[in-house]
Amino acid sequence: MSKTFSEWYDFFMKPLEQGKFKRVRSDLLKESNGKVLELGSGTGINFPFYHGVEVTAIEPSEYMLNRSLKRREQAKVPIELVQSGAELLPFGDNSFDTVVATLVFCTIPDVDQAMGEMKRVCKPDGKILMFEHVKMDQPFLAKLQERLTPYWKKVCDGCCLNRETDLLVKKYGFKIIETREFYRGLFVTMVLNNEK
Ligand SMILES: C[S@@+](CC[C@H](N)C(=O)[O-])C[C@H]1O[C@@H](n2cnc3c(N)ncnc32)[C@H](O)[C@@H]1O
């Protein structure tokens, strides 16, 4: 993650965050409980929405980590920050009650490895809470996402518009408890059970 991208990230996301996303994040994170692991926590945009839990947040970019310090200070719960990628998590098996991933599986280079790690560190029957943009069902829009991805990826620091994260969770055997779609299925939230 480049320094410039991290500096501008909140500014560009502000219209979405102050509109629909605030409610989406708040509703999703109400489902978190116990020991929570957040993957790719970025500027800490989720931190204000945690209540009554203990959070460990991993993030590979030192620039993003630095930008999340203020939100960590203001959070209502303890948040430990760890510099790490999601593909190799420095935690033991079955360490967390909840794993949170928001707008991050679009950017993680090795999503298969990250899914496996998420499953490993989450307790059996633990919760996985995801909010992601995914490849859309509508064929024209899906094709457009495919076409745009090489350019989008360059401008948005590795973000891929064509990731099928909603399908990938099925491959890894997570049980879908609830899904919600926003903006014609461009964004989805998923509450998953970690069946082992
Ligand atoms: C689009 S931002 C989303 C930030 C935040 N999760 C949110 O909801 O706004 C993507 C984040 O994923 C992080 N990231 C990139 N590669 C990663 C990896 N391999 N593992 C975990 N996070 C990664 C980036 O540094 C960045 O902070």
Domains of the chain and any CATH numbers: 3-193 (3.40.50.150)
Q: Smallest Cα–Cα separation from 119: which of 99, 102, 103?
A: 99
Contact present, 130 and 101 (Cβ < 8 Å): yes
Contact present, 36 and 98 (Cβ < 8 Å): yes
Q: Smallest Cα–Cα separation from 44: which of 87, 86, 76, 15?
A: 76
pLDDT of residue 51: 98
Dist. CA 19–CA 5, nearest whole Å: 22
Q: Report which residue type is found at 61.
A: S
Dist. CA 22–CA 42, nearest whole Å: 16
Structure-token pair, residue 93: 């098996």
pLDDT of residue 104: 98
What are the pocket residues of ligand 1 if the criterion is a CB atom closer than 6 Å to any ligand atom? 1, 39-42, 45, 59-61, 64, 85-87, 102-104, 107-109, 159
Residue matched to tokens 């998923």: 190
Q: What is the pLDDT of residues 159-169, one digit of tens each?
A: 999 999 999 99
DSSP code of 174? P
| Residue whose CB lies within 8 A of the most ligand 1 atoms, among 11, 107, 165, for a mutation test | 107
Q: Smallest Cα–Cα separation from 32: which of 110, 108, 116, 131?
A: 131
Q: Smallest Cα–Cα separation from 85: which of 69, 109, 67?
A: 109
In which residue ranges of the chain is pLDDT below 50?
none
Dist. CA 115–CA 180, nearest whole Å: 20
pLDDT of residue 108: 98
Closest Cα to atom 27 of ligand 1: 42
pLDDT of residue 75: 98
Q: What is the pLDDT of residues 100-132, one digit of tens each?
A: 999 999 999 999 999 999 999 999 999 999 999
pLDDT of residue 133: 98
- Within 13 Å of residue 150, how many CA atoms lie on the same side as its CB? 2
pLDDT of residue 1: 62
Q: How close is the Cα of 39 to the center of ligand 1, in Å?
A: 7
Dist. CA 137–CA 186, nearest whole Å: 9
